[in-house]
Structure 1
Amino acid sequence: MENIGHNKALIWSDRWRLGALSKNELMNIGFVSVIIGLLFVLFHLMGNTVDNLGSRSAFKWMVSRWGDKVSFGADYSHGYLIPFVSLAVIWYKREEFFAAKKQVCQFGLVVIVMALMMHWMGAKMQQTRISLMSLILLIWGIPYYFFGWKVAKLLIFPCAYLIFCVPLNFLDALSGPLQRLATTMAHSMLVDMGIDCERVGTQLMSPYFQLNVEAPCSGLRSLLAMTALTAVYAYFTQRTFVKKWVLFLFSIPIAVAGNIGRIISIALVSITAGQQFGTGLHHDWSGYVLFTVSISLMVGFGKLLNVNYLELFKSWKKAYLNHS
C-alpha cells in the first residue's frame, strides 16, 4: 500500500490544482479563455452568411464541405486530420516555444486588425472561405502580438498548414484538365505498349475494356492529399527553406503520375482478368497501392535532396586517387 501511495505522489502534482497557481497564471488562463470565447462567438455564431446551410457557423460550413460526396468537397475528406497535425507540430516544438524570447509586438496588432477586416469582408461577400482564412490569420496574429516574432516564427508552419482544412472552390476547375491529362497520357502509354486502344474525350475504348475517367478519378483528391502529406514531411526532413519548397512542389507531379499509373493498371488488369474485376475490386483498391508508391517516391526524393553531393564527390575522388 505504501508503494501505491508513493507512485500516486509521483504522478500527481500540486501544480495541477488551481490553488497552486499564481495570480498572474490565473489571469493568463482567464484571458486566454476570453479570447477563445470571442473567437467561438465570431466564427461559430457569426461566421457564415450563406443561406442554404441553415447555420451561421463557419465551422459547420467547413465540416459539411469535408463530407460532401457530390462536388469537389469530397476531395477534402482529409480535413479532419489537419488540425491534429498542426497541434502535433506545436507539441513537438514545445521546448523551442518555451525557450523563445517573448515580448509584445505592435505589428501583431496590425495582423489582428487585418484578419478582422478579412472576416468582415468574407461575411459581406458571403464567402465563408475568406472568413476561415481570417481565422487562421487570427490564430497566428494573436500570439504574434502578445509574445513577439520569435514565437510567431515558430507558429508559421502549423498555422499555415491549417489552410489544407479550407475547401478552395477554384481548385474544382482543375478537375477537368486533370481528367484530360490523365486520359491522354494513359492512352499514349497504352498505345506504346502495343495495346489497341482509342481515346474519345475522357473515355478509353478497346476490344478488351471500356474505361471512363470521371471527375472523381481525375486525381484531384490524391493531389490534395499528397501535397498535405508532403508539406509536413518536408518541414521535418529538409534542412533549408528552398529544399522544403522543392520537395513540396515535387508532390504535384508525383500525384499526377500516380493517377496515370492507376488508370493504366486498371486497363492492364481488365485485359488479363476481365473488365468486371479490373473496374471493380482492382479499381477500388488500386488507389491505396499507388498512394503507397507515391509516398515511397516522396521519401526517396527527400533523401536525395539531403545528400551532400560535394562531400560525396570529394570522398569518391579521394577513393579513386588512392585506388589508382
Structure 2
Amino acid sequence: MGNGSATTRTASAATGASLAVPSKIAGVFTPGGLAALGLLSAAFVAVFYRWFRQQTAFSLGHPEDWAHAFVIPLISLYMLWRRREILATLRIEPFWPALTPILLGLWCYLFFLIYVPNHMLGGAAMLLTLYGLVLLTLGTRGGRELFLPIAFLVFGITISEAIMNDITFRLQLVASQGSFAVLSLMGAFTGFTTDIQGNVITVITPSGIEHPMNVAEACSGMRMVIAFIALAGAVAVLGCKEWWQRVAVLLLAVPVAIGMNVVRVVVLGLLMFIDPDLSQGEAHMLIGTLLLIPALGLFLGAIWALNQIFTPTTGEGAES
C-alpha cells in the first residue's frame, strides 16, 4: 500500500514537472522567448532602419555588385539553424560587460550617420551592437556559438567606393593580362589576333575587322570579388570542420575570382564575333552571375580534396 502511494506520488510529481516545462517552438524558442526575441529584433531594426534602407538602395541600384547582400542574412540564419540543438540549451545569462560594445556601437553608428557619413563603418557599428546584444543576453557561451553567423554578415555591407575601386583596379590589371594571354593563345589556333593598348583589348578577325573591348568595363566583374569571398566563406563555414580548412578555402576566393573574370572577358571577346552588343548590358551581367556556379564547384572540390588528403587515420586503419 505504501509502495503504491509512493509510486503514485512520484508519477504525479513527474507529470507536474513535465507540465511545468514550457513547450518550445521549432525546438529552440519558448513562447515567451520568441516574443522577447521579436520585440528585441523590432527595436534593433527601428534603430538601424536608415542603414537598412540605404543598403537596400545600394543592392537594388547596383545588383551586379551588391545583389548578394540579400542572400547573406539567409545564409547566417541557416548557420543558426544548424546550431539549433546547441542554441536550445542556452540560458539567459546576462553578461553586463557587454554594455560596452553596445554603447560603443550605438555611438559609432550615430557618429557615422550624422557627423561623418560612412555607410560601411556604420554597418560595422551595427554588427558590433548586434554582437554586444548577444553577449548581454546569452553570455559568453552564446557569444561563442553565434560569432560566425554574425561575423558572416559583414559580407552584406557595401564597401566604400574608394576602397572598392582601389582593390578592383589592381585585380582588373591581373585579369586583363590573363584574358589577353588566353585570347592570344586561342587566336593562334583559330586565326584571329588580339592586341592590347592601355585599357582596350582589340580582337581582330581573320578578315581584318577590329572589335575593341574596354578592359575596365569587361573586367567590371572584378567588383563581384566580395560575392566570391562571401561564397567561399559560406562554403568554408558550412562544409569544413577544421579552422585551417576554412582558411585554405577562403584563401582561394581571390584567385578563383580572378580566374572566373578571365573566363568572363574571354567569353565576351568571343561573343564579339557573333554580335558586339552581346558583350554589353544584360548579357554582360548574366555571364558574371552564372560564373558563381563553377566557382561554387571549385570551392566544393577544394573541400573534397582537403578531406581526402588530410583524413585522420583511425586506430584500426593504422593497425592494418
TM-score surpassing 0.5?
yes
Distance 1:310 1:87 in 2: 29
Distance 1:15 1:192, change over 3 A: closer
Shift of 1:219: 2.3
Q: Is the 8 A contact 1:58 1:131 kept in 2?
A: yes
Per-residue CA distance 1:175-211 (angstroms, 9 max, x = gap):
3223322222211233344252110122111322322
Q: State how 1:1-324 maps to structure 2 within 5 Å.
A: 26=32, 32=37, 34-44=39-49, 57-69=50-62, 74-100=64-90, 102-123=92-113, 124-169=115-160, 170-193=163-186, 194=188, 195-208=192-205, 209-215=211-217, 217-271=219-273, 274-276=274-276, 279=279, 283=284, 285-309=286-310
TM-score by length of 2: 0.75
TM-score by length of 1: 0.75
Shift of 1:155: 0.9
Distance 1:29 1:282 in 2: 45
Residue identity opposite 2:47 in structure 1: L
Distance 1:134 1:100 in 2: 26
Distance 2:137 2:64 in 1: 38
Query: Which stretch has the larger CA shift, 216-225 or 162-171?
Result: 216-225
Per-residue CA distance 1:41-94 (angstroms, 9 max, x = gap):
4222xxxxxxxxxxxx2221111111224xxx7411111121122122212211
Q: Is the 8 A contact 1:104 1:148 kept in 2?
A: yes
**Tell me, which stretches of 5 or more residues in structure 2 are unaligned?**
1-21, 206-210
Residue identity opposite 2:260 in structure 1: G
Distance 1:231 1:284, change over 3 A: closer
**Secondary structure of the structure 2 residue equivalent to 1:198:** strand
Residue identity opposite 2:236 in structure 1: A
Q: Is the 8 A contact 1:112 1:141 kept in 2?
A: yes
Distance 1:310 1:62 in 2: 42
**Tell me, which stretches of 5 or more residues in structure 1 are unaligned?**
1-13, 45-56, 320-324
Distance 1:37 1:277 in 2: 47
Residue identity opposite 1:207 in structure 2: I
Distance 2:75 2:218 in 1: 26
Distance 1:290 1:37 in 2: 37
Residue identity opposite 2:181 in structure 1: S
Query: Which stretch has the larger CA shift, 289-298 or 164-173?
Result: 289-298
Distance 1:105 1:168 in 2: 32
Q: Is the 8 A contact 2:172 2:222 kept in 1?
A: no
Q: Is the 8 A contact 1:185 1:260 kept in 2?
A: yes
Query: Which stretch has the larger CA shift, 121-130 or 240-249?
Result: 121-130
Distance 1:43 1:149 in 2: 24
Kindly report the root-mean-square deviation, in angstroms, between the aligned alpha carbons of the 2 structures. 3.4
Distance 2:267 2:131 in 1: 44
Query: Which stretch has the larger CA shift, 289-298 or 82-91?
Result: 289-298
Residue identity opposite 2:204 in structure 1: P
